[in-house]
């Protein structure tokens, strides 16, 4: 719990920074209870379901989301974090995480002005990386990697500004390369099956 509180504090600090870009439309706060934060213009927004269970909470400034917003899974005997997102000036900026209803991390991504920007990781069972990729202004940029169920590399695909550019490699479950192609600006220029020795 202490780690979650520390993480939330860090996200708030990062999320309140200058996001660049223009302002977003005001957030729809229907169903939220609003609480003024003393000494500031910031309000805390809290939404609960009909049973009084927490559904979503976050911070608002001038009608726009800022800082950390958290949504929750809920059931009869538990309430667990579903998503944690960082906002600045009404736009998703910084860290975004998604969790299963068992509390396992499923997604770790970075945003800039509501579009993916930076590293994105998808997880299996909260610890094993299934996919990793990098984005620049919402487009794949760099090496995308996917892994077999045993944790070994399945494929690597290189991108530049959202199109395949560079090597494409496919591996079997023993991580032996079976296919290799070379792409340039989205077009395959060479490659094929790789012979096993």
Q: Where are the domains of the chain?
A: 1-103, 129-197
Asked if pLDDT for residue 76 goes beyond 80, the answer is no
DSSP string covering 51-63, please? TS-EEEEEEEETT
pLDDT above 50 for 144? yes
* pLDDT tens track for 77-129: 678 999 999 999 999 999 999 999 999 999 999 999 999 999 999 999 888 99
Query: From residue 125, how far is each of 72, 99, 100, 114 by CA, in Å?
Result: 18, 10, 9, 27
Model's pTM, two decimal places? 0.83
């Amino acid at each position: 719990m202490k780690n979650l509180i520390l993480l939330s504090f860090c996200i708030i600090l990062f999320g309140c920074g200058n996001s660049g870009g223009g302002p977003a439309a005001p957030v729809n706060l229907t169903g939220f209870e609003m609480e003024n934060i003393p000494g500031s213009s910031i309000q805390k927004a809290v939404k609960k379901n009909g049973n009084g269970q927490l559904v979503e909470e976050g911070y608002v400034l001038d009608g726009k989301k800022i800082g950390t917003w958290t949504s929750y899974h809920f059931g009869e005997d538990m309430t667990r974090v579903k998503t944690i997102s960082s906002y600045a000036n009404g736009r998703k900026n910084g860290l975004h995480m998604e969790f299963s209803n068992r509390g396992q991390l499923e997604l770790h991504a970075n945003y800039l002005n509501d579009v993916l920007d930076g590293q994105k990781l998808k997880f299996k069972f909260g610890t094993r990386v299934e996919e990793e990729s990098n984005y620049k202004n919402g487009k794949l940029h760099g090496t995308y990697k996917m892994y077999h169920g045993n944790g070994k590399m399945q494929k690597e695909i290189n991108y530049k500004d959202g199109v395949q550019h560079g090597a494409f490699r496919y591996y079997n479950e023993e991580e032996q390369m079976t296919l290799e192609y070379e792409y340039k600006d989205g077009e395959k220029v060479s490659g094929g099956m790789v012979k096993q020795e």
